[in-house]
Structure 1
């Protein structure tokens, strides 16, 4: 099913986005039916995804929070159906800032946590990751999704993001999460202007140098639309592939994307070039 077995375990990993929401910025409402969502997930695995990332709450700019109960209603049936059809070795990630939702998802068959608040929205999240021994993605975010793009401000965005991520990694370690199960995400587009996003992409090696695995999520994001002439988000696969290539060459390990096939190719070619060098 997945092409992961054909690649080395230390190579770049593709995390495929499965938004089970009505209002995500580029694919909201497309996969609200559980059977349709499962079919799309299986397609992404066949295209070369290594990890599936399922979320029941949009975190696009301007979005409002969704109750844990509603998140669970959206994601748990899909996680259960998928776990019946895919090998245990294929990771499934739950994209949530709620420890309650994360726990229910892990019970249903998820094996990763992806927390855009880096454990700050729910103080139980880091302890849950430690208790279950699962990888957790800790992302930088300035503000909350509803208001984060109104007036983002930094004196030195790279230094501030690195400082925040290092602090959250230390908090996870203190909670008992193993170092090799911590992934850091600079949070492209989360409380950042285009210039901030570009500065972070130019300095990915500084985030990698913090000593933890790094995840990059640029897929179809608005800062690239402006550079690419205002095209629709669904037309930004080539732009996303460019950032995937940059990330591989900088040492990023995981890439969270909508368009799996193109980014799989970009990651694999960049990895081959990096090794040849």
Structure 2
């Protein structure tokens, strides 16, 4: 069979190779009447003429613009169709998709940065939001320590959508909670009391700004706040002994929910 369509025409396989279109697509276009071969051999094989090949080329061109098959049929066969208008409408849809993909790409970049950095704030922004005692090295240290955990992934997902304003709201909520804890300890609020339990629940709600916190995980945090020098210094900076008092109210609340603080694990 020659490689140029003459009186004998081209087979489906030859047209597929020439135009870069699958045989399956050619068969489908034949079945729906969009681009049918004009000839058949005595054995029933389809053969495409030069005119058929020209129509197929136009189908491929319009398909590359994103037009659907019905739109292509109208452009090729309906003399009343405003072809430039149809192409302009398709161009507008392409522009919308490009804009959507660009926004998606920007979102993915932020998500990648959040997974790798934790906070998407400069060192100056971090200090402005969290106060002069904040150490901008803490997010990197946290990633090295917790970067392979589910909680770090949850934290990064939240961080990716936050700017300085959103983080300031989180910081204000934490500061308000610290103040309420200190005031309650000064007032002699007893572990296990309704007021203490409300503060434990408030802590879990505030902490959800970072990642969901179960009661068992909260018990583990209470231990860490008391044992870790940096956390203990923070809470004792609010009120002397606050880290230990906070651990006690968390433990009491956990017992009320059937959890043994001595055996609780991070789950």
The two structures have a TM-score, normalised by structure 1, of: 0.21
Question: What's the TM-score, normalizing by structure 2?
Answer: 0.22
More helix by share: 2
Relative contact order, CA 8 A, sep 6+: which one is greater? Answer: 1
